[in-house]
Chain A
Amino acid sequence: GESVGLHLPTLSVQEGDNSIINCAYSNSASDYFIWYKQESGKGPQFIIDIRSNMDKRQGQRVTVLLNKTVKHLSLQIAATQPGDSAVYFCAESYGQNFVFGPGTRLSVLP
């Protein structure tokens, strides 16, 4: 498999529990944020996005929270399943620039 994700912070959760993955972004001018999921050996997959004029957005089993005061983004996954095991990373966008975080590895325990 790919070595992507080596040395990343790891979050281990029990199957069925909720997961919360955090991301601190760098630029207060960023106005668009995306969460991606990347499984081993594959390209990143879009999960959910949020614009800076919102502080919460919900998808299917996922919720993204944005706290602009402390430049913090979180991804909540409800009822975590084995198929959710992957590296999750956030991206912030300002102007034409995208900046990607290194990611967090989510490990789902049976």
Chain B
Amino acid sequence: DGGITQSPKYLFRKEGQNVTLSCEQNLNHDAMYWYRQDPGQGLRLIYYSQIVNDFQKGDIAEGYSVSREKKESFPLTVTSAQKNPTAFYLCASSLGGLAGGSTDTQYFGPGTRLTVL
């Protein structure tokens, strides 16, 4: 059963804590992405990775960090430096990679809802 999984579905964080959101895919996709979704707004890109051991900042990378040690996994850490972390976080992947073009459809995971207490 191929697809993208995210865990946990709901996550609660206290002020000053770092938390890590998991994203795994078994689609053999090279490219992976993290987006943040807020009410009434389009998805905003946090970080993306076109290939293992490489990642790039997106539009709103401040307060977040990622790693890409394995092709299948692209975890996102929300650090205490992120001032307004409460949001719905979506991970996506595409066939992509460095040779990928604009016709690579992005497929999304089910999302993680992060709430700061």
Chain A: residues with CB nearer than 8 A to chain B? 2-8, 31-32, 34, 36, 41-46, 49, 51, 89, 91, 93-103
Contacts and interface: CB of A to CB of B under 8 A. Distances in A.
Interface in B1-41: 4, 6, 35, 37, 39-41
Contacts of A102: 40-42
Contacts of B45: 98
A45 B40 contact: no
Residue among A3, A4, A46, A51 with the highest chain B CB neighbour number at 10 A? A4
The size class of the interface chain B forms with chain A is: 20 to 34
Contacts of A96: 50, 100, 102
Interface of B: 4, 6, 35, 37, 39-43, 45, 50, 88, 90, 100, 102-103, 105-111, 113
B106 A6 contact: no
Contact of A46 (B40, B88, B90, B105): B105
B105 A103 contact: no
